[in-house]
Amino acid sequence: MEVQFNTLYVVTQGASLRRDHLTLRVVVEKQTRLTVPIHHLDGVAVFGNVYVTPGLLQLCAEHGVAVCFLTEAGRLVCRVDAPGSGNVLLRRTQFRWADRPECGAAVARAIVAGKLHNGRGLLLRAGRESTDAADQATLHAAADHLAQTIRALPGVADTDSVRGHEGDAARTYFGAFSAMIRQARDTFRMDQRSRRPPLDPLNCLLSFLYSLLLHDCVAALASVGLDPSVGFLHVDRPGRPGLALDLMEEFRPLIAERVALALINRQQVKPAGFLRQEGGAVLMDDATRRTVLAAYQQRKRESVTHPLLDQKVPVGRLPFLQAKVLARHIRGDLATYVPCVLKG
């Protein structure tokens, strides 16, 4: 358990989170392991079998600290937030936009373009770092295919067609993903994308990182007053944060996939850290999960130049800044939605 970027992550199974006046207390086997003043926190994320007392939930709600409950594998189950958060006028406009095909398609095109630009950048970066001619050819071919899709997007009129182009590009991208892996490729190769449950170590690792990223995107959208449930690219489904899934698309290559590749290629995660369950599902052990959390938070601390602001910002702030860009576009302050595309 540790506090990173004002978010407390608790992965120790059997831990309990309790209120002690204006302090959050983490108890494991009747021993207090950590205390954090509530005003030091923006969020709490608990994984698996972790008990949160009603008193602590009330304290968090009173101070605007969201509590996210996730499975051990990192899938978001629910989020408990303070009532009355958000901007009702902005949300009303968001809902109207979601019902207008031309508005939804324009935002969806920009989101997919941003995702493909960043994915292409990751492929080209891996191609420059690779010393294997076959891997380089695979990566450059995939990057070229993504470039063709990006050029085709402005002519796509409806959201369903945007989803079709995104799906085709995703198959090409993940088809080349194994060429970016330089260590333990037999274990961490990408045969096909699988989730709920992930069926191999690489999918397990990616799914966990995507869940962490989704948690941050939900928080980012809520912080600017948008409804995380009503999106443009992802179809509305009960219990699914569609707009948060939209927002995270352009950050998957920049944050989640880059972290996964670094962990594997630096041998910070080992094949032995992934456990196969009955039925074929694959989970990480506690030590591997902590290693992944630490790497994710380290990536969030790194500084990059924001393409719109043209100034250095921590990677962890990018979803929050992008949520503001989207909110300004929906309010009419920006004529077009500009995705977050980083160079290199």
First to last CA, the chain: 33
pTM of the predicted model as reported, rounded to 2 decimal places:
0.81
Instruction: Give the pLDDT score at 204.
Output: 92
> Can you point out the beta strands (E) in the chain?
2-4, 7-10, 16-20, 23-28, 31-37, 43-47, 51-52, 66-70, 76-80, 274-276, 282-284, 303-305, 312-314
What are the b/e assignments for 104-135, b being 16+ CB within 10 Å?
bbbbbbbbbbbbbbbbbbbbbbbbeebeeeeb
The whole-number pLDDT of residue 146 equals: 96
Helices assigned H by DSSP within 153-285: 159-175, 185-188, 201-224, 242-249, 258-265
Nearest to 122 by CA among 215, 251, 244: 251
- Give the pLDDT confidence of 27-52 residue by residue, as tens digits: 998 899 999 999 988 788 888 889 99
d(CA 30, CA 109): 52
140: number of Cβ within 10 Å: 15
Average pLDDT of the chain?
88
Share of the chain above pLDDT 90, in %: 51
pLDDT at 87: 73
Give every residue of the chain whose pLDDT is below 50, as ranges: none
The position carrying tokens 């950050």 is 251
CA distance 22 to 60: 10
pLDDT of residue 76: 72
**26 pairs with which residues across the strands?**
17, 34
DSSP state of 87: -
**10 is written with which tokens?**
């608790």
pLDDT digits (tens, 9 = 90+) for 189-212: 887 777 778 888 999 999 999 999
Of 114, 140, 151, 153, the closest CA to residue 342 belongs to 114
Contact 228, 248 (CB under 8 A): no
pLDDT score, position 42: 77
Q: What is the pLDDT of residues 257-284, one digit of tens each?
A: 999 999 999 999 999 998 888 777 888 8
237 token code pair = 């489904």
